[in-house]
Each structure stands twice: as structure tokens, then as C-alpha cells.
């Protein structure tokens, strides 16, 4: 119950078929596909759309997060376009990571040749250790932390994903599921550690969609 709501009489309970916590993209999409008339969305903030938001400070516009879409799914792209009345910008994008005075192309695991040599050696050792231990043939990972450790090894996950995960998802990796993840190829990882060409898992010419309203979609 909202703290500001102070009923002065007892009211009968309202039947709610589907109660959705959070008015971000996930909550709005759930309500859309179920049917808005059958849902009630509760949002803590004074506006909807979750991380698709910006604020003004010191004369600059700050985005809450990387509100872009790299999807190739035709249904999702069409839904995005309809949601903003067709006001979308589609343009190529290059994403980089700034890591200890080194630029590493996104995704980091596919472009570790750009990382310092000591980092590459440590990551490779951790990766091979995870294979020696037979993690891929053991119990399936129960959470995102276990998935990362089994897939990339402890050294990589400690060096790269955890700071991003805690900042972006605002929770510990152990609290995230794994049903949206895939396992990574052993030979590809070894190649990406020592190759002198960009990794193939990320196409730097891939385009992103940006709405004409100044809001990007994740």
C-alpha cells in the first residue's frame, strides 16, 4: 500500500488478475502481451520505462544506462517501431571498453588480444583450469556466477564481468538466472586470447536502433 494512501473506511479488496512489479521494458512487455486490461503495474518511480530515462545535470543529459537494441528479431524490431510511431534511427555502432589504459573492443572475451599480456595469461590459465576440472560436464550452473566461472574461468569473471554486472544489474551475480545464457566454445576462447584480429562474436558494423524521442531501447 502506498504510504500516502490513508483510507478513512474499509473498502472491499480489488481482484487483480495479473500484478506486475516494475514498469520497465520487462513489465510493460508482459502487460502488453497478456493484455493491459488484465494487468496492474506497480512502479516505484514517478515515471515508467525503467532504465529508458535521462536526466539533466550541469547542462548535460545523462542516460541511466545503455538504452540500445542490437536485436535482429523482426517481431521485436517491429514492436519497437510501432511503439514510437516509426521515429527510430538505425545506425552502425562501435562499442569499446576502457580497461587499465587499454581500449578493448566489445565483447571483451572476443578481443582479449588487446588486453595487457599479464591479463591474457591469467585469463587463459583460469580458463584452462576450468576445463581441467571438468566443469562443463558437471552439475549445470544454478546461477549466473556459476555459469560465468564454468564458461570463462574464475580469472576472467573476476577481472571483467563482475564490476559490470553489479553496476548494470545492481545485484550480485549469484542472484541472476541462467536460462538466457549459452556456453562458450573452448577453441574460440583460446583463439581470441592470442589472435591479432578482432573477435568474430561481435560485428562492429552491427547497427543499433535509437528513437527519435531521445530514448534508446535495450
Nearest to residue 119, comparing CAs of 155, 147, 157? 155
Under 8 Å between Cβ of 152 and 182: no
pLDDT value, residue 201: 43
As a whole number, mean pLDDT of residues 44-48 equals: 86
Q: Note whether 77 and 83 are within 8 A (CB).
A: no
What does the domain layout of the chain look like in residue ranges? 1-50, 107-194
pLDDT tier, 18 (very low <50, low <70, confident <90, very high otherwise): very high
Average pLDDT on 164-192 reads 73
Q: Given this model, what pLDDT does residue 38 score?
A: 92
All cell numbers assigned to 82? 510501432
pLDDT tens readout for residues 19-41: 999 998 889 999 999 999 999 99
Instruction: Write down the pLDDT at residue 32.
Output: 93
The Cα–Cα gap between 20 and 13 comes to 17
Between 139 and 104, the higher pLDDT residue: 104
Q: In this predicted structure, what is the pLDDT of residue 203?
A: 44
Distance CA 18, CA 39 (A): 5
Share of the chain above pLDDT 70, in %: 72
Amino acid at each position: 500500500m502506498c504510504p500516502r494512501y490513508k483510507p478513512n473506511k474499509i473498502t472491499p479488496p480489488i481482484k487483480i488478475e495479473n500484478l506486475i512489479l516494475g514498469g520497465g521494458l520487462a513489465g510493460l512487455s508482459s502487460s502488453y502481451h497478456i493484455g493491459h486490461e488484465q494487468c496492474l503495474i506497480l512502479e516505484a518511480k514517478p515515471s515508467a520505462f525503467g532504465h529508458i530515462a535521462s536526466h539533466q545535470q550541469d547542462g548535460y543529459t545523462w542516460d541511466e544506462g545503455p538504452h540500445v537494441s542490437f536485436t535482429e528479431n523482426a517481431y521485436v524490431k517491429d514492436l519497437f517501431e510501432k511503439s514510437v510511431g516509426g521515429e527510430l534511427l538505425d545506425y552502425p555502432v562501435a562499442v569499446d571498453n576502457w580497461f587499465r589504459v587499454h581500449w578493448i573492443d566489445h565483447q571483451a572475451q572476443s578481443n582479449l588480444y588487446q588486453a595487457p599480456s599479464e591479463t591474457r595469461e591469467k585469463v587463459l590459465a583460469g580458463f584452462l583450469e576450468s576445463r581441467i576440472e571438468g566443469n562443463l560436464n558437471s552439475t549445470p550452473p544454478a546461477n549466473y556466477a556459476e555459469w560465468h566461472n564454468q564458461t570463462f574461468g574464475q580469472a576472467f569473471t573476476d577481472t571483467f564481468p563482475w564490476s559490470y554486472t553489479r553496476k548494470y544489474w545492481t545485484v550480485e551475480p549469484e542472484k541472476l538466472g541462467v536460462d538466457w545464457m549459452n556456453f562458450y566454445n573452448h577453441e574460440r576462447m583460446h583463439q581470441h586470447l592470442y589472435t591479432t584480429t578482432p573477435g568474430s562474436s561481435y560485428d562492429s558494423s552491427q547497427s543499433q536502433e535509437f528513437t527519435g524521442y531521445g530514448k534508446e531501447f535495450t
